[in-house]
Amino acid sequence: MAISIADLSKEELFGQGHAGCGGCGAAVAGRQAMKALGSRTIITIPASCMATLGGSNLKTTWQIPFYHTLFEMAPAVSSGIRAALEAQGIEDVNVVSWAGDAGTADIGFQSLTGAAERNEHMIHVCYDNEMYMNTGGQTGSQTPMYAITSNMSKGKAVKKKNMLAIMQAHEIDYVASASIAYPLDLIAKFKKAAEKPGFSYIHILAPCHRGWQIPAEKTIEYARLAVESGLFELYEVDEGVRNRTFEPTFIPVADYLTTQGRFKHLTSEQVVKLQKSINVYYGRGGDEE
């Protein structure tokens, strides 16, 4: 059951020499995912950091077929690739569409929900850095409440859209959340998703140190703190059965939030409010009124 790092594939299918920033969370997510998916994979990526750091058409860091789609259609292109593979009788290939939070939850949502409804045999991955980082860090629907972005200097006023619950409502084969700080958990989820005959959705929390205004070397650390504080839950819904894959230790949310530049303006009332919502969600009492 348990996977050990030494047993993982030695192939470096993505990431070597990529064009992203030093300490890029998306690149970490890509490398970890490719360890699970292997070389028999075709990936489609819409406009996002992940597409640009894969390289231009003269040079690429991908060792597998990589198709840079238009912004709103990665799952639709993947559906077409799967249909073409099926017509040729090729069955051992994973078809993956890999989009950022905008390509998944906002501009890319219509093709995603269409592919999920048709239950296409593919995996859709959302690497979530909670902002539109490739265009300069604007607010999107996956930006958490209160976060400062380049176009909301006082912080976002409304909550983050629960994309995992939306995908769960499609009643697809497999829905999972993952964090780049827990690579073996992430890899196990990708392996599970690859074996499903229908649509799988994986939502990866991949911090962007530029947008979150944290030091580059703490990219992984903040991905871990988000999970440990309970703000990002690691779970999977396997054929309708929900299972939490990691029990957080519930560090105070203030440890995660207030050290980030994008949350530096948080008042203590706002932190208490967030902590209370976490306590209610996980059914933890002991929060004095």
Partner 1 sequence: MVKNLPVVPTAKAGSLVETPTGITWRIQYPEILANCNICLECTLFCPDGAIVQQEGKLVLTLKLCKGCGICANECEENAIQMIPEYSGVKGVFR
**From 30-38, 110-118, 255-263, 271-279, span contacting partner 1 (CB under 8 A):** 30-38
Question: C-beta of 62: minimal distance to partner 1 in Å?
Answer: 7
Tell which one of 55, 80, 114, 261 touches partner 1 (CB under 8 A): 55
Give the x/- contact pattern for partner 1 in 163-202, rule: CB under 8 A.
-----------------x--x-------------------
The answer to whether residues 107 and 119 touch, using CB atoms and an 8 Å cutoff, is no
- Residue (of 153, 151, 178) closest to 164 by Cα position: 178
Show the tokens assigned to 17.
Answer: 């020499």
In angstroms and rounded to an integer, the radius of gyration of the C-alpha atoms of the chain is 18
Q: Select 61 or 104, whichever has its Cβ closest to partner 1.
A: 61
Q: Is 222 a binder of partner 1 (CB under 8 A)?
A: no
CA 85 centroid distance within chain: 26
Q: Is 212 a binder of partner 1 (CB under 8 A)?
A: no
Tell which one of 1, 2, 89, 288 touches partner 1 (CB under 8 A): 89
Query: Rounded to whole angstroms, how far apart are CA atoms 174 and 85?
Result: 22
Q: Is 211 a binder of partner 1 (CB under 8 A)?
A: no
Q: Is 218 a binder of partner 1 (CB under 8 A)?
A: yes
Q: Select 106 or 128, whichever has its Cβ closest to partner 1.
A: 128
Give the x/- contact pattern for partner 1 in 119-158, rule: CB under 8 A.
----------------------------------------
Question: C-beta of 264: minimal distance to partner 1 in Å?
Answer: 21
Query: Rounded to whole angstroms, how far apart are CA atoms 149 and 142?
Result: 12
Q: Which residues bind partner 1 (CB under 8 A)?
A: 5-6, 8, 10, 12, 14-25, 27-28, 31-32, 35, 40, 42, 55-65, 84-85, 88-90, 92-93, 180, 183, 215-221
